[in-house]
Amino acid sequence: MRRYQLVVMGVSAGGTTALKILLPSFPADYPLPIIVVQHLHPTQTNFLVTHFNAQCALTVKEADEKEPLLPGILYFAPPNYHLLIEPDRTLSLSIDEKVNYSRPSIDVLFESAAIVYKTGVIGVVMTGANNDGAAGLRAIKEYGGLAVVQDPATAEVPYMPQAAMAATSVDHVLPLADIGALLREKAQLLL
């Protein structure tokens, strides 16, 4: 039976609304780290971290350079930085060029997660207005990870989930409530 070690999520337009539904569904003792890339304005404040820390049982924080990934922590990519995972499973921030007009880019996170975690990563693409996340989810599938996409019919902006579905064969296409249930179930395989 496959043992998952990490969840990576990507959202863009409509993302805050989607995350308000999904993130509070995780218990404080969720056994995997979760990393979220939400497309942000370069000068965005830390509103998301503050807001979700108040709404979630998990500890929510902005990712820091060289920080080790720990279970039960929800990491947000900081504004205007790409977030990557290094081979030693620490986080790395980059100001490299934008990818898909975005920094942070979902593809950058997902591709690094696929390389490091291989079959142990779950990638989730949700609402958004561009194709960021599609190539990254394809990389997760190519390395043997699990690909999950929000049902486009339930997305505030369906383009990003549709692009992900066009880029690779996904394992699950689900509404947000069912994505939370699936991620809780997959983490239980560790216990």
Catalogue the active-site residues. 12, 39, 132
**Which residue, 11, 17, 83, is CA-closest to 55?**
17
Dihedrals phi, psi of 136, to nearest 5 degrees = -65, -40
Nearby residues of 179 by Cβ (< 8 Å), 6 or more positions away: 22, 124, 126, 148, 150, 172
Q: How much of the chain is helix, strand and coil, in % rounded to 5?
A: 35, 25, 40
- For residue 44, what are its two tokens? 């965005």
- For residue 1, what are its two tokens? 């039976």
